Amino acid sequence: MEKFSAAIKYEVQDLIDAQNLFSERYFNGYKMFRTGLMVLVAVFMVCSLIELMSRSMEKSVAFYVIINVCIGVLGTVGFYFSTMLVVYTNIPIKQKRAYEMVKDYEDEITFTIEGDELNIHTIVMYGSIEFANLFKWLENDKTIIIMQREDIMNFFPKAKITPEFLGALHATLARHQIPKADFQNS
């Protein structure tokens, strides 16, 4: 039986990358909602402008239509930037705080793929996960996450694992038919 090992010493950026990957599934739905809202506001603005042009309105009514359009545009832009604020400031701040609080990240963690198990070894703990019991997995160009449940996961920064380990991980996930999580099947 072949063994594939990866010894990883996490850094803050590894946590941020993993959190961003995990959060993408939720933010994709949020992005769809945000885009739909922006389209709705654009349709409202166009209809308001058509109404304004098609009638000869009093100046006060035209003023209120223009004010409503401006409020719609500002609200949409504010909603868009509030989403970006969460992604680009809140997540990194929380991950940096977690990294500083959890002392386990200071030590090296060794992951070993052996048969149908992923063994995890640290200075204070040894554990084993059967691949058949995994829930789902996620991947992007920086990180791969395997999920035991929706809220329990392990992640591997791709820059810190060997191509052999990554290939063995992909092969084992495929052999056990663990679904890749995306917002269609999450």
6-28 pLDDT tens trace: 999 988 888 888 888 887 765 65
| pLDDT for res 112 | 94
The beta-strand segments (E) located in 20-179 are 109-114, 117-121, 126-130, 136-139, 143-147, 153-157
**Would residue 57 be called left, alpha or beta, if left means φ above 0 and alpha means ψ between -120 and 50 degrees?**
beta
Segment 61-115, tens digit of pLDDT:
667 667 777 777 777 777 777 767 776 777 788 878 888 887 777 788 999 999 8
Q: How distant is the alpha carbon of residue 152 from its chain centre? A: 15
Q: Which two tokens stand for residue 70?
A: 């401006």
Query: According to the model, what pLDDT value does residue 184 have?
Result: 47
Return the C-alpha torsion angle 100, 105, 107, 113, nearest 10: 180
Checking if the pLDDT of 182 tops 60, the result is yes
128-178 pLDDT tens trace:
999 999 999 989 899 999 988 887 888 999 999 999 999 999 999 999 999
**What is the per-residue pLDDT for 17?**
86
Q: What is the pLDDT of residue 41?
A: 73
Res 89: pLDDT = 75
Classify 139 as helix, strand or coil: strand
Q: How confident is the model at residue 185 (pLDDT cuts 50, 70, 90)?
A: very low
